[in-house]
Amino acid sequence: SSPIPPRESLISAKGTRVAGTCEWITHNESYRAWLNADSDSSGSNRDGTRLLWISGGPGKGKTMLSVFLTEELERHTASIESVELVFLFCSA
């Protein structure tokens, strides 16, 4: 048997996302600036790097939001030829 990819393992352990949750971030100004930083430098830091920082206390939904975002970004980047999407989930 092949190993379970980390994202699928997280979904299995935490459960699936409730429909309609996490979608608010796609309308968030900071997220949209970060996502569109290639055409507008407002999503970039002073050194030109792009960082979307998601923080919150335990049990606030950071993991589910991160899973949602990786799925959204896979859809978003699928049609962009020059873009590679790489993500990593780690546990402390």
CB 22 within 8 A of CB 65: yes
Gap between the Cα atoms of 36 and 38, Å rounded: 5
Q: What is the mean pLDDT of residues 22-46?
A: 78
- Tell me what pLDDT residue 48 has: 63
- Tell me what pLDDT residue 86 has: 87
For 2, which DSSP code? Answer: P
**Distances in whole angstroms, Cα of residue 67 to Cα of each of 11, 38, 40, 73:** 8, 23, 26, 10
Q: What is the mean pLDDT of residues 3-29?
A: 87
Q: What percent of the chain has pLDDT over 70?
A: 80
